[in-house]
């Protein structure tokens, strides 16, 4: 993938955001809401056709980039493309994620590795690749899409062991990164709730607009404490 293939001509915006898993569901809605607020959004997805279609639908404030956050080389290439086109990054939304439905007693190590590779290591890899660009921002925001299923208080319910463990670990990494980050980089985790997406299913209680709301608020609200776990714009227990 080259710069000319990946980046389309776009309007000048003061704030630049990158959203992973932006071709559908919560990620696509976060991209839409950020773009409506005048933020230039880099929408990242693995499928070229799907992510280009998303960018076309969402308008000129959305730029499509193809990449797989599970691959270190593609994360590095994404960072190079962002630097070449924009020179810095203000907002990173680590939204890309997959589900795993096995109980802990099933010991499905293949599923565990697959879920952890996307939900935890993928988020860490893309953040590491983009870190130099984020630290150039006067007010950088990193928002990790977690889940109430990643709360320690929720771990005894059983099932979805790989998914729970991945989000539990993502929450822990959020706290660690927030503690080590410079003052101009804010790091948050958030639970979108049970949302009507391909992952959440049609029986979910929340529309996608509500699921994206807190992420957009965390990306744009002033003077928030860093290193917290949020739902519906309020801090919730780890």
Domains of the chain listed by start with CATH number: 3-235 (3.40.50.720)
Contact 142, 230 (CB under 8 A): no
- Residue 36 CA from chain centroid, whole number: 18
Q: Taking Cα atoms as reference points, which of 67, 68, 22, 24 lies closest to residue 41?
A: 22
pLDDT-derived band at 113 (thresholds 50, 70, 90) equals very high
pLDDT-derived band at 206 (thresholds 50, 70, 90) equals confident
State the pairing for strand pair 91-94/140-145. Answer: parallel
196 versus 163: the higher-pLDDT residue is 163
Residue ranges of alpha helices (H) inside 37-104 are 48-58, 72-86
User: Tokens 């003061």, residue?
Assistant: 14
Contact 57, 105 (CB under 8 A): no
Please say if the pLDDT value at position 116 is more than 70: yes
- Report pLDDT digits (tens) over 9-54: 344 578 999 999 999 999 999 999 999 999 999 999 999 999 999 9
**Which residues are CB-contacts of 61 (< 8 A; sequence separation ≥ 6)?**
10, 11, 13, 35, 38, 39, 40, 41
Residue ranges of alpha helices (H) inside the chain are 3-6, 25-36, 48-58, 72-86, 109-116, 123-134, 161-180, 208-220
CA 4 vs CA 22, 65, 151, 180: distances in Å: 20, 11, 42, 36
Helix pair 109-116, 161-180: axis angle to 10 deg = 30
Query: What is the number of other CB atoms lying within 10 angstroms of the CB of residue 203?
Result: 7
- For residues 158-186, give the mean pLDDT: 95
**Per-residue DSSP letters for 11-47?**
---S-EEEEESTTSHHHHHHHHHHHHTT-EEEEEES-
Longest CA–CA separation in the chain, Å: 52
Catalytic sites, residue numbers: 163, 167
Query: What predicted TM-score, i.e. pTM, was given to this entire model?
Result: 0.93
């Amino acid at each position: 993938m080259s710069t000319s293939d990946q980046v389309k001509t776009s309007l000048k915006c003061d704030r630049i955001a990158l959203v992973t898993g932006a071709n559908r569901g919560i990620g696509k809605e976060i991209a839409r809401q950020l773009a409506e607020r005048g933020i230039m959004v880099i929408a990242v997805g693995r499928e070229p056709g799907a992510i280009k279609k998303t960018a076309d639908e969402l308008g000129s404030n959305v730029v499509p980039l193809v990449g797989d956050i599970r691959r270190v080389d593609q994360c590095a290439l994404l960072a190079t493309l962002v630097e070449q086109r924009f020179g810095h990054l203000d907002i990173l939304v680590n939204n890309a994620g997959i589900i795993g439905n096995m109980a802990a007693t099933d010991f499905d190590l293949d599923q565990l590795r697959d879920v952890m590779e996307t939900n935890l290591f993928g988020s860490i890899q893309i953040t590491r690749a983009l870190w130099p660009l984020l630290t150039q921002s006067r007010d950088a925001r990193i928002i990790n899409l977690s889940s109430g299923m990643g709360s320690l208080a929720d771990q005894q319910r059983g099932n979805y062991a790989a998914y729970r463990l991945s989000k539990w670990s993502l929450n822990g990494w959020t706290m660690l990164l927030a503690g080590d980050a410079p003052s101009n980089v804010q790091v948050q985790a958030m639970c979108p709730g049970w949302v009507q997406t391909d992952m959440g299913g049609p029986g979910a209680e929340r529309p996608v607009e509500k699921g994206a709301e807190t992420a957009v608020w965390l990306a744009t609200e002033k003077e928030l404490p860093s290193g917290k776990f949020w739902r519906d714009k309020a801090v919730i227990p780890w």
